[in-house]
Structure 1
Amino acid sequence: VDEALKEFQHIDILVNSAAGNFLCPASALSFNAFKTVIDIDTIGTFNTSKVLFEKYFRDHGGVIVNITATLSYRGQALQVHAGTAKAAIDAMTRHLAVEWGPNNIRVNSLAPGPITGTEGYRRLGGKFAEESSQFDTIPLHRAGNKTEIAHSTLYLASPLSSYVTGTTLVVDGGSWLTSANNFPALLDFWAAGANKNQ
């Protein structure tokens, strides 16, 4: 933060996008692995937001966009660690929007769905990630792309959303509403090799 302020004299936008994610059933997840994801995602988001609030946003206002996920909306198999961390960030988004709104700080979160061409998509989807049949259960029948996430983030960070705060924008083509959540099949996928990505 200090380096950015020295270089640019002001900071208008903070995007918290750190994530630690892998597929793992809760029964096989170590205490340390769970804590690590919470530390990266949830604690990292709070720490960065609080430091920027104290050093600049408190007196000058600003925008915070937290990148979360839809994993907690229905309880996604093999994702207790990431779903818990991202749900906490969605809650944090609402709390900070209420507390920091009087300082002219808007806080929102964005929950992407399956986005092609990303490391997370490759790691979580494995060799099946790019198969078109994987998209049949998504209402829009396709995965999203990085440009669509960038545009959505830009909307939340820009004056176009000047009266939007404390909300989560889901950008997933409707996938969380309809995608399969077959625990036995996902467990087989994990056992067949997805667990090597931890």
Structure 2
Amino acid sequence: MAIGSPFKADILKGKVALITGGGSGIGLEISTQFGKHGAAVAIMGRRRQVLDAAVAALRQEGIRAIGLEGDVRKREDAARVLEATIKHFGRLDILVNGAAGNFLASPEDLSPNGFRTVIDIDSVGTYTMCYEALKYLKKGEPGKGPSTGGLILNISATLHYTAAWYQIHVSAAKAAVDSITRSLALEWGTDYDIRVNGIAPGPIEGTPGMRKLAPEEMKSAHYDRPLYRFGEKWDIAMAALYLASDAGKYVNGTTMVVDGGLWLSHPRHISKEEVKELSRQVEKKSRTSDVHQPSSKL
């Protein structure tokens, strides 16, 4: 069970955030925590029923929230949703690109159209939203706009750091997202005072993504290892809060990995006891070899 927030309740007071994919899973938790910490939130998604339910839940928490239907793959939708956010709340301070597509597929069974669909949602969609949001997020001229630029958070993954089975499409898409994050941080950070960062979640329980990637029907010893523990949506939302608050004001161009160190792990082929015994044998053999080694003559 998630613990209480370590952040002050007003750290995002007066801020306005737009979260794509904000109607469910990690996106909804980010929307909820941003709202609980003072921000007004607009959530963007393709399913009106999901948006309406999410907005109702947010408003029950006392959060100022609206739901805006749109597809991040369509530039006209991106522009319309951003304009509606500005019209309703009067400003935009934070853009969270959380919309994503995923499914399990081996490369030989994944058509180019299937590959392209994920690229279009995750990579092209992220860039499209950033592109259309620029004029609202960039630092204004003295007296004509915000004194500092806004923030962009791109939700990524760790799959492409090495390689992942049946995830060639998402690995490629998220590698592109990480590159977009770094490039925009460099250029828009310099020119417009906009910070651009990413968050790479590990396996997070209770999300649509995990229901697709680790369904109940797919039982494997891999998921039973102690190291392979699920994170909580709250963990990702807290990372987003840190990056969105003044605590993260000097962080730009980085993708924060929030996975408990999972991506660093590898299967343990031998036990600790076996390692100790093998080490002793190797050291003993090495010392014996050194004793019998003939000395060299200069």
TM-score (norm 1): 0.84
Q: Does 1:10 align with 2:91?
A: yes
1:150 aligns with 2:237: yes
**Other structure's SS at 1:126 match:** coil
Q: When you count helix as a share of all residues, which structure comes out higher?
A: 1
Write the distance in 2 (CA, Å) between the matches of 1:144 and 1:95: 29
- 1:101 paired to 2:101: no
1:55 deviates by 3.9
Equivalent-residue separation in structure 1 for 2:252 and 2:195 (angstroms): 5
Long gaps (5+) in structure 2: 1-81, 141-145, 268-298
Distance apart, 1:8 and its partner CA: 1.1
Q: Which residue of 1 aligns with 2:101?
A: 20
Compute the TM-score of the two structures, normalised by the length of structure 2: 0.57
Task: Give the alignment partner of residue 159 of structure 1, picking from 246, 253, 269.
Answer: 246
2:200 paired residue among 111, 119, 144? 111
2: CA distance, partners of 1:125 / 1:75: 17
Q: Could you tell me whether the CA contact under 8 Å between 2:151 and 2:194 is conserved in 1?
A: yes
Larger radius of gyration: 2
With over 3 angstroms needed to count, the CA separation of the structure-2 counterparts of 1:143 and 1:57, relative to structure 1, is same
Q: Tell me: CA distance 1:124–1:179, structure 2 relative to 1, closer, same or farther (3 Å).
A: farther
Paired with 2:243 and 2:224, the residues of 1 have a C-alpha distance of 27
Q: C-alpha deviations, 1:30-83, integer Å up to 9, x for none?
A: 010000000000000000001000344353410000000001000111100000
* Residue segments in structure 1 that go unaligned for 5+ positions in a row: 181-198
Q: Distance in 1 between matches of 2:193 and 2:133?
A: 14
User: Which amino acid counterpart does residue 114 of structure 2 have in structure 1?
Assistant: A
2:190 paired with 1:91: no
Q: Establish whether residue 72 from structure 1 lines up as the match of residue 160 from structure 2.
A: yes
Change in 2 beyond 3 A, CA 1:131/1:158: farther
For residue 137 of structure 1, report the CA deviation from its aligned partner: 5.2
**Structure 1 residue 106 displacement after superposition:** 0.3
Aligned partner (choices 126, 132, 143) of residue 45 of structure 1: 126
